[in-house]
């Protein structure tokens, strides 16, 4: 593993402004790379980092502010400003209901606000359609509306149900039909989560991936708390499950272990609102520049290109 030019996370925090300037000014330009299978084969063939090139930085896991907050516009504007300073070209965003489980009216309203933000921050904000799978008919109608009519790029599932429960399967089947990824909230703790009795973990997502090998699933926030080493190992054989690097945890060796066990082609960059930490853990990882660029944008771009 190439460690040339290695920067520690501590030193990164002291020089984040310089990193932002170095990355600033890039904007995403969409392109079509044909079928996902061919694109992923290309990524796997180049996972050593040889022959890589610079490209857009795409945050696969971001949130806009629920409009029940009076300052939602200011908070959303500050999110874009933070992305500008850190050189993040695009943010894949959802809005969650403040209280869950979400109602059908609740998730429909959240997605309408995301659609409005996509117009307000055109080219910067990409939308995830958030649904509660318990409302099967309403959820499927909303996903189709958001993807086919509003141009959303994927589906966001939270913890209303564990991902292996049959109520989730129709959502996964529609995602396969529409050729969009699912970003799924996840975490693995060694103690109960009283407020999240149905939280999924990496093992659950690997099981769902085996049931639906055509699906493209993203296991959320490896740095979001819980046992990240267990999660990485649980995903070893879930070849169609990607791992999102977001979360405020910046433990030494986390990204390197994920790259070694899962392969660089299965890692996608995210912040989940921990912006400087999100960028710093990738910039400070002991990986080649080419590998970092795949994580920062190349792998997510291939998922976005599934729809052609």
Q: What is the pLDDT of residue 279?
A: 97
Q: What is the pLDDT of residue 299?
A: 98
Q: Indicate the pLDDT class of residue 136, thresholds 50, 70 and 90.
A: very high
Taking the CB of residue 54, how many other CB atoms lie within 10 A of it?
Answer: 13
End-to-end CA distance of the chain: 34
| pLDDT tens for each residue of 199-219 | 999 999 999 999 999 999 999
pLDDT exceeds 70 at position 302: yes
Q: Which residues have C-beta within 8 Å of that of residue 300, sequence separation ≥ 6?
A: 58, 60, 92, 268, 269
Distance from C-alpha of 175 to C-alpha of 20, rounded to nearest angstrom: 35
Identify the residue with better confidence: 224 or 19: 224
Burial of 222 (0-12, 13-18, 19+ CB in 10 A): buried
Within a domain: 70: yes
Distance from C-alpha of 242 to C-alpha of 228, rounded to nearest angstrom: 14
CATH code where residue 53 lies: 3.20.20.140
Q: Indicate the pLDDT class of residue 194, thresholds 50, 70 and 90.
A: confident
Q: Indicate the pLDDT class of residue 251, thresholds 50, 70 and 90.
A: very high
What's the total number of domains in the chain?
1
Within a domain: 277: yes
Taking the CB of residue 263, how many other CB atoms lie within 10 A of it?
Answer: 16
Within a domain: 2: no
Within a domain: 3: no
- Chain length of the chain: 308
Enter the tokens of residue 191: 């103690």
DSSP bridge partners of 186: 200
Taking the CB of residue 10, how many other CB atoms lie within 10 A of it?
Answer: 10
Domain range enclosing 190: 9-307
pLDDT exceeds 60 at position 124: yes
pTM > 0.95 = no
Distance from C-alpha of 22 to C-alpha of 5, rounded to nearest angstrom: 15
Q: Indicate the pLDDT class of residue 190, thresholds 50, 70 and 90.
A: confident
Within a domain: 4: no
pLDDT exceeds 70 at position 17: no
Within a domain: 1: no
DSSP bridge partners of 156: 130, 183
Taking all residues of the chain, what is their mean pLDDT, rounded to a whole number?
86
DSSP bridge partners of 182: 155, 217
Distance from C-alpha of 297 to C-alpha of 308, rounded to nearest angstrom: 17
| pLDDT tens for each residue of 285-295 | 999 999 999 99
């Amino acid at each position: 593993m190439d460690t040339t030019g290695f920067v520690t996370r501590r030193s990164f925090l002291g020089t984040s402004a310089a990193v932002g300037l170095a990355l600033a000014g890039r904007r995403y330009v969409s392109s079509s790379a044909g079928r996902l299978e061919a694109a992923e084969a290309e990524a796997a063939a180049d996972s050593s980092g040889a022959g890589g090139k610079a490209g857009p930085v795409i945050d696969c896991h971001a949130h806009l502010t629920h409009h029940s907050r009076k300052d939602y516009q200011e908070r959303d504007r500050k999110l874009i400003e933070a992305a500008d300073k850190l050189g993040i070209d695009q943010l894949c965003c959802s809005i969650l209901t403040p209280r869950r489980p979400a109602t059908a009216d609740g998730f429909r309203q959240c997605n309408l606000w995301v659609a409005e933000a996509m117009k307000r921050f055109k080219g910067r904000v990409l939308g995830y359609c958030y649904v509660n799978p318990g409302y099967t008919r309403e959820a499927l109608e909303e996903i189709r509306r958001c993807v086919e009519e509003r141009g959303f790029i994927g589906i966001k599932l939270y913890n209303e149900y564990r991902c292996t429960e049959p109520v989730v399967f129709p959502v996964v089947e529609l995602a396969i039909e529409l050729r969009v990824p699912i970003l799924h909230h996840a975490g693995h703790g060694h103690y109960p989560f009283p407020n999240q009795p149905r939280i999924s973990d990496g093992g659950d997502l690997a099981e769902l991936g085996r049931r639906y090998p055509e699906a493209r699933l993203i296991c959320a926030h490896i740095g979001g708390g819980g046992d990240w080493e267990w999660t990485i190992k649980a995903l070893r054989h879930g070849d169609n499950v990607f791992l999102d690097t977001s979360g405020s945890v910046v433990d030494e060796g986390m990204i390197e272990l994920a790259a070694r066990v899962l392969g660089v082609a299965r890692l996608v960059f995210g912040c989940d609102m921990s912006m400087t930490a999100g960028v710093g853990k990738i910039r400070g990882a002991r990986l080649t520049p080419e590998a970092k660029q795949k994580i920062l944008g190349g792998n997510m771009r291939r998922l976005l290109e599934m729809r052609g």
